[in-house]
Amino acid sequence: MIVVLLLLHGLVAVALLGAITHQALSVLPLAAVKGQRTFVDRFRGVNGPAYATPIVVLFVVTAIGGALLYPQYRIDVRPALEDMQNAAANGVFEIKEHLIAIGLGLLPAYWLVWQPDNAQGVAAASSRRALTWLLAFFVWWGFIVGHVLNNIRGLLP
């Protein structure tokens, strides 16, 4: 059961990572493209507002999955890391749990700044960009740390 949950958690996280990365690049203030569009141009050329609600849902679902997996981590993985005297691994996970919690609290504001009613003004645009990049940072951190810790026994000698 825990393996199935771990796989589902990872799959939803992949979807979240893709969505937030598309949206984060879409708000970069780059000049309009003339001529042939590159891969990056097409990658960032998405309808950013359409991603906001799916990202909120995916973030919440991924966080709930992580919360359900957390007891197993606390019982099995963390003591093993402590036995290996790998404080850094515990540290990056601790930071992950903080960032995901802060990200959960950020979601209402993030969702609001992406609503069409709040699309006007310099403050709204800069806030939309900053909140999206903050959330992208949280998701990337969580994703990388989750994968490294999941595979840490194979990664370390």
Partner 1 sequence: MLFGVFYIAAFYFDLALFRYYPEARQFHWARTDGIGVVILWYGWIVTAALASAAVAVAVPRPVAERLSPRWVWVVTTLVVIVTLIYERRWFV
Footprint of partner 1 (CB under 8 A): 67, 70-72, 74-75, 78-79, 87-88, 90-92, 94-95, 97-99, 101-102, 104-106, 109, 112-113, 118, 123-124, 126-127, 130-131, 134, 137
Shortest Å distance, C-beta 13 to partner 1: 18
Tell the smallest beta-carbon distance from residue 113 to partner 1 (Å): 6
Residue 107 · residue 59 · CB < 8 Å? yes
User: Which lies closer to partner 1 via its Cβ, residue 2 or residue 33?
Assistant: 2
Which CB sits closer to partner 1, 14 or 80? Answer: 80
Q: How far is the CB of 6 from partner 1 (least distance, A)?
A: 16
Q: How far is the CB of 42 from partner 1 (least distance, A)?
A: 28
Tell me the DSSP string of the chain.
-HHHHHHHHHHHHHHHHHHHHHHHHHTS-PPPP-SS--HHHHHH-S-HHHHHHHHHHHHHHHHHHHHHHHHHIIIIIHHHHHHTT-HHHHHHHHHHHHHHHHHHHHHHHHHHHTSGGG--SHHHHHHHHHHHHHHHHHHHHHHHHHHHHHTHHHH--
Q: Which is nearer to partner 1, 18 or 108 (CB)?
A: 108
Q: Which is nearer to partner 1, 15 or 134 (CB)?
A: 134
